[in-house]
Amino acid sequence: MDNTKIRSYQIVSAIFVCIAGTLLHFTYKFFGEDSFVASFSAVNESVWEHLKLLFFPLLLTTIIGYFYIEKNVPNFLCSKTLGTIAAMLFIIIFFYTYTGIIGKSILLIDIASFFVAVILGEYLAYKLMISNFECNNIIAIIILSVILIGFIVFTYFTPKIEIFRDPVTNQYGITKNIE
């Protein structure tokens, strides 16, 4: 496949992830705190819940791209998986580093870091796709599945560790009774 088509797909994917991720920040409240919507939307202001805003749109573009691009780019799935992991790690490392240095989070920086993470993740995926990088798609599917299950399970059964703590309420996970 022509590198231009791959690059174009990655750019469209990045734009979609930025828009969809932003919208997913509000869908849980918009849909009346629906327990199904909670699975893929942020239910509080924790770092973990904000990673969903990145993961689920990227997962969708990965699934779509798999059917659109994978035939011509054998490392597509692994490349997107590594790009997704890199983007998530960027958000975690950047957030805890800058808040550790200045002592608080700043909304504008958090929003900007989300967009930077999307761009970095998609760029890494693109660079891997056009390289000679070889991988096993089964491993990529397992990794994405584990992350997916983790997001869903930890939404309802939230560990009491810092990444899951809502800095606004100091609570963990969903703060209302699930229907």
Q: Has residue 164 got a pLDDT over 90?
A: yes
Q: Which of 149, 143, 4, 15 is nearest to 78 (CA)?
A: 143
What pLDDT score does 74 carry? 87
Q: Lowest mean pLDDT: which of 56-60, 81-85, 104-108?
A: 104-108
Dist CA 174 CA 157 (whole Å): 9
Q: Dihedral (C-alpha) 9, 10, 14, 20: value to the nearest 10 degrees?
A: 40
Contacts for 76 with CB less than 8 Å, ≥ 6 apart: 65, 66, 69, 70, 129
Give whole-number Cα distances, 176 to 26, 87, 132, 179, in Å.
16, 30, 49, 9
pTM reported for the whole predicted model: 0.90
pLDDT digits over 28-82, tens only?
999 998 989 999 999 999 999 999 999 999 999 999 999 888 778 889 999 999 9
User: What value does the mean pLDDT of the chain take?
Assistant: 92
What pLDDT score does 175 carry? 66
Average pLDDT over residues 90-107: 94
